[in-house]
Amino acid sequence: MTNFPNPQSIMPQKSTLTKQITRWRHFRPSPDEDVLTIEEPLEIRVGGQSLIVVMRTPGHDFDLATGFLYTEGLIASADEIGAIAYCEDVDPENRQNVINVHLTNGQRLEKQEGWQRNFHANASCGLCGKMTIESVKQEAPPITSQMQIDQDVFYQLNDRLRSAQVLFDATGGLHGAGLFSAQGELQIIREDIGRHNAVDKVIGQALLTEQIALDQHIMMVSGRASFEIVQKALFARIPVIVAVSAASSLAVELAQESEMTLIGFMRGKGMTVYSRPDRIR
């Protein structure tokens, strides 16, 4: 497997900035400073060809690009990535916002006629209901993991994820995604202004460090569970998804069809289990 340089070691990236604000307390305004989450576009290119532009929080960009390609079914493993680098053919001000991924089979995407159209259809959440779920099922079979997890493990996840969200503490404006072992040990934490980006960053890091397959892991997200988050976890073969908030109807349907355990409203000593409750011991 190719060893990729850490983008943060090449070009330090800021995830937050400080702005002057006016803060009101009761009836009195006063000048103050506030720490804001940085939101910038990241263009992901494959073989020099523009694939997509995502709005993200700078940091762990290589993880994000790798996870995105993997969870959208455009690569099957990290071995298909020959190199990832920031593009040198853009102006220096935007250089940290354009990534080029070189595949070991450089013609893979070009040979898939209409791949851009198919990609946009697969990436669109809820456009065609059951047709979308059927297309996902064709690409990713149901989960077969026999993992069993003690219920007390679930009741610890929220506090462990929340305590690791350093940028959220500073800004109050980022989503978090965490990858946990079956014993509830936090192994990877990523934060981003976008929920899907945080998930892609976690899966991308797991892929690049050869932790895939993840059939003995739990993924927790700080917000709600959408169809796309369940889809991404399915492609990564993660059998259990936990969300702090609710799950959408399409997310529940995909989880049920894919034999995944989907849990929502994980707060304190309570949770709502939408599918495959038999994995909870």
Q: What are the pLDDT digits (tens) for 203-232?
A: 999 999 887 678 999 999 999 999 999 999
Question: pLDDT tens across 91-115, in order?
Answer: 887 889 999 999 987 645 554 444 4
Predicted confidence band of residue 72 (pLDDT cuts 50, 70, 90): confident
Q: Are 57 and 167 in contact (CB under 8 A)?
A: yes
- Whether residue 39 is contained in a domain is answered as no
- Whether residue 2 is contained in a domain is answered as no
Q: What distance in Å separates the CA atoms of residue 247 and residue 263, rounded to the nearest whole number?
A: 8
Q: Are 106 and 49 in contact (CB under 8 A)?
A: no
Total domains in the fold of the chain: 1
- Whether residue 113 is contained in a domain is answered as no
Q: Are 226 and 125 in contact (CB under 8 A)?
A: yes
- 87 belongs to the catalytic site: no
Q: Are 92 and 11 in contact (CB under 8 A)?
A: no
CATH label of the domain that carries residue 227 = 3.40.140.10
Task: Give the structural domain span for 233.
Answer: 151-279
**Averaged pLDDT, 16-34:** 90
- Whether residue 227 is contained in a domain is answered as yes
- Whether residue 224 is contained in a domain is answered as yes
- Whether residue 94 is contained in a domain is answered as no
Three-state SS sequence of the chain:
CCCCCCHHHHCCCCCEEEEEEEEEECCEEEEEEEEEECCEEEEEEECCEEEEEEEECCCCHHHHHHHHHHHCCCCCCHHHEEEEEECCCCCHHHHHHEEEEEECCCCHHHHCCCHHHHHHHHHCCCCCCHHHHHHHHHHCCCCCCCCCECHHHHHHHHHHHHHCCHHHHHHCCCEEEEEEECCCCEEEEEEECCHHHHHHHHHHHHHHCCCCCCCCEEEEECCCECHHHHHHHHHCCCCEEEECCCECHHHHHHHHHCCCEEEEEEECCEEEEEECHHHEC
Average pLDDT value for the chain: 86
Residue 211 is predicted with a pLDDT of 73
Residue 181 is predicted with a pLDDT of 95
**Averaged pLDDT, 73-90:** 89
Can you tell me which residue has the tokens 């462990």?
Answer: 160
Residue of 85, 125, 153, 186 marked catalytic: 125
Residue 13 is predicted with a pLDDT of 80
